[in-house]
Structure 1
Amino acid sequence: MANGPMDRRAFGEQPQRPNGNGSGHSTEYTGRYVVLLDPNNQESGLNALRSAADIAPVERVRGAAAANVSELLERPDVSVLFENLSVAVVEVRPENRFALVTTAEAESSILAAEPERMVYASPITTPQQAPTEFFPAYRSDEDVVAHQSQAEAAASLGPALDEQSVTWGLQAIRANVSGMTGRGVKVAVLDTGVDTDHPDLVGCIEETASFVPGQTVEDGHGHGTHCIGTVAGPANPRQGPRYGVACDARILAGKVLANDGRGPDGGILAGIEWAISHGAKVISLSLGARVQAGALFPQTYEILAKRALEMGTVIVAAAGNSSLRPGFVAPVERPANCPAILAVGSLDKALKTAFDSCGGINGQGGEVNIAAPGVAVHSAAPGGGYATKSGTSMATPHVAGVLAMLAQANPKASAADLTAALLAGAFPLTQPARDVGAGLLQAP
């Protein structure tokens, strides 16, 4: 594969318009670089960087060993290579950064090199609001429905706002009338961790790991626990309505964002390496960082997502919550803006695009692929309780759960096949594809 152009515009990005809750963030860099190597010629690329840019000595990490890498990533005297992904987080002195970039452009065994950035978990927490109307059976053209008998059964339920037994989101995507539960399918949720003692979640957690120095996997933020609950909360929770899409999925809970909701690319890459090594069919990323209008997608995440697909893993990511509709639509954030990553937009209870959901206004890869319930979403919270949150972060685990259902239904399907089935099964909406992609997520 030929080298992609180095996007030096990243160094000049300006803070962007804040999102709907006024908590906007500008681009942050760590000073390190993420370097993507030819998997068949890793050493040539590293040797070129050692010679030209005097990078810090490289420690090699493979597979499940990535679970122990958090402290290593913080050391200024060490670069870390994730061998299975062929990606390195490189420490380099400031005076040698330009030499690193020019070497990466010239060396054929280096596919991409980009500054390491911080990413964020940024949901909007809102009170429960009654919508004007909600139709769980938007079925004007039954020919587009792959499973007509299921659709007819769901339609017979009639309009539903009652969440006493099932959340509105599960009703909208028909998870509650699906015969699939995601049984045995591993879903990695890379986020702020999880309340490992939550009564609803103890049964679904397969493995945990923290990639945040000095912090355990326990969720001091709430974001990760909420997302994990949406993916795999139980059919019969301890209290309140069912809120888990794939009740029998197995969760790999990776803490890549600290308790303040922030984390660098390196921790996310470590989490991806760890998740794939543990057999994750789906990786759910309810996180992101803003990009400018017209910005290119990050080559590192794009090529890694392609490699993940080849290894049998689908990556889904939140489109972002930076818009202020109707007057301002922000572009889909990174890494969701990569063509090989499924970008998820957010819908409210009337199946309208959420006011803060980002849109597909950039070029290739910047599109929204699918939309899911993301407003007033009820799920688990740390301390054994529950919370209602809103944002594309809340829509994304709905998609991850449905992918687990599809993987259960089609155990021999490739990751590309699962992606195609997910998009083909979506129900078309009246909004532009820019905002909702293929349409409303539907369970098989």
Structure 2
Amino acid sequence: MAATDEPATDGNSVLDLLRPKATGGLVVSFAERAGRDEVSALENAIGSGVRSVGLSDAAEINALDSEPALVFEELGVAFVSERFGLEATSSIRAKLMDTECVQNVRPEFYMFAIETFGDTAEATWGVRAVGALDSPQRIEERGEGIRLAVLDTGLDLTHPDFAGRNIVQRSFVPGQGVQDGHGHGTHCAGTAAGGRAAQSQFRYGIASNAELYVGKVLNNAGSGRERDIIAGMIWAIQQRCAVVSMSLGRPVQPGEEPAPEYERIGRLALQQGSLLIAAAGNESSRRYGFIAPVGAPANAPSIMAVAAVDQSLEVAEFSCGAINPGGGEIDIAGPGVGILSATPQPELYRKMQGTSMACPHVAGVAALWAETDPELRGQALWDKLTGTARGLDAPARDVGAGLVQAPQGQAGV
């Protein structure tokens, strides 16, 4: 969900900003239990060179980038390379769509860091609003023992607020390491699992002692291919991360159904004791009465979709809503306007706004709840978050169950 600092010069430029950006490749979803027919279908469409890989190979997807097609048979999902060109890719798509075991074939899209807007708020209001300052854990134990993954543009590994942290890291972006050259990932990681500012007692993070897993799935320009994002999602699940925060996505059209591959991964995560949490998107213009649908992958029913509220606990002007049938719900809301968190050196701190900022608030609170009870994993953790959310005046279409709330007790400061 891209944003730009440059004003559009004409109507076509505005439309270009709203259109999903295709990589040139294809995403193929097979019918459930298609089995080896998947490889045969791909070979019939593109010829030789189809590579079947297991979920455990997802972390090595960059090394497999030279393959014409990759299929994750356990998921029933395949990727066809962009190398074939537009005309050949159209022919391949037609052949696959005419194959009985194929459920759907669509273009592969880039996804984007759900970007920033203004700079207008008290720094710690989000931490206070979700009740993290009153959570029963002591500040140095917040999220203790809970694996929390942030899939984004990486992390500033030199940031003083993360010094001494044992951070598990992996880049899924070809040719780029985990070091954050954009800033979005560092900001989101700071909210979800940062602590206090190194030079003061200023607090901006939620689960400050969670075991942080950083997956770089978006490049230093803030965009990433779906194959790399899906690989990162599988990696986080296989790393047994109880919470996976994804402040990324792409716009969808009114009436567009969720992509089956994300629903399959969402269900897999819940079965494996992981909870995927994603930003709902920033495409609305509520002051003009326009509410955009929840974007992908947050629109998958088994991925928790997070809306944004402002300091008055009103729905943020840009926050997407549940207007599409068959998925696309808003499940919960988090603080998303004027959020101050970490950013790469030399700046160190910056205020940002968007559903990207709301998402890691929910992820951090999820880690606090997961710490309180080892049974709170997967669907049970989802139910705890929605069951303890603070009711808001806005309809469920806009905020789901309400504002996420941390476990309560004596002050943890």
Task: Answer whether TM exceeds 0.5 for this pair.
Answer: yes
- Asked if residue 298 in structure 1 is aligned to residue 259 in structure 2, the reply is yes
Distance 2:221 2:39 in 1: 34
Q: Is the 8 A contact 2:169 2:215 kept in 1?
A: yes
Distance in structure 1 (CA, Å) of the matches to 2:55 and 2:310: 41
The 8 Å contact of residues 169 and 178 in structure 2, kept in 1 or not, is answered as yes
1:353 has 2:309 as partner: no
Stretches of structure 1 lacking an aligned partner (at least 5 in a row)? 1-13, 130-160
> Identity across aligned pairs (percent)?
41
- Which residue in 2 is equivalent to 1:416? 379
Which of 72, 81, 88 does residue 91 from structure 1 map onto? Answer: 81
2:106 and 2:252 map into 1 onto residues whose CA distance is 14
Give the aligned partner of residue 306 of structure 2. Answer: 344
Question: Are residue 432 (structure 1) and residue 389 (structure 2) matched?
Answer: no
The structural deviation recorded for 1:367 is: 1.7
> Cα deviation per residue 1:305-325 (whole Å; 9 max; x = unaligned)?
111211111111111111112
Equivalent residue number for residue 173 of structure 1: 130
Q: Does 1:283 align with 2:244?
A: yes
Task: Tell me whether 1:115 sits opposite 2:107 in the alignment.
Answer: yes
Structure 1 distance, partners of 2:161, 2:75, is 34
Structure 2 counterparts to residues 223-262 of structure 1, below 5 A? 223-235=184-196, 237-239=198-200, 241-262=202-223
Q: SS of the counterpart of 1:402? A: helix
SS in 1 for 2:248: coil
Which residue of the partner structure matches residue 363 of structure 2? 400
Name the amino acid aligned to 1:231: A
Verify: 1:331 aligned to 2:293, yes or no: yes
Q: Which residue of 1 aligns with 2:410?
A: none
Q: Secondary structure at the match of 2:286?
A: coil
Q: CA deviation at 1:100?
A: 4.0
CA pair 42-206 structure 1, distance change in 2 beyond 3 A: farther
Are the structure 2 counterparts of residues 388 and 240 from structure 1 closer, same or farther at C-alpha, using a change threshold of 3 Å? farther
| TM-score, structure 2 as length reference | 0.87
TM-aligned CA deviation for residue 98 of structure 1: 4.3
Mapped to 2, the partners of 1:16 and 1:336 lie a distance apart of 26
Q: Does 1:49 align with 2:42?
A: yes
2:62 — aligned with what?
Answer: 70
| Deviation of the 1:51 alpha carbon | 1.9
Structure 2 CA distance for aligned equivalents of residues 224 and 96 of structure 1: 33
TM-score by length of 1: 0.81
Q: Secondary structure at the match of 2:306?
A: strand
Q: What's the secondary structure of 2:42's corresponding residue? A: helix
Unaligned runs of 5+ in 2: 1-10, 408-413
Q: How far has the Cα of 1:236 moved from its partner?
A: 6.1
Is 1:30 matched up with 2:23?
yes
Contact map agreement 2:258 2:296 (CA 8 A) in 1: yes
Structure 2 distance, partners of 1:313, 1:113, is: 27
Distance 1:273 1:363, change over 3 A: same
Instruction: Name 1:366's counterpart in structure 2.
Output: 328
How many corresponding residue pairs? 388
1:60 counterpart residue number: 53
Shift in Å, 1:269: 0.9
Q: Secondary structure at the match of 1:200?
A: helix
Q: Indicate which of 112, 118, 124 corresponds to 1:126.
A: 118
Partner residue, 2:69: 79
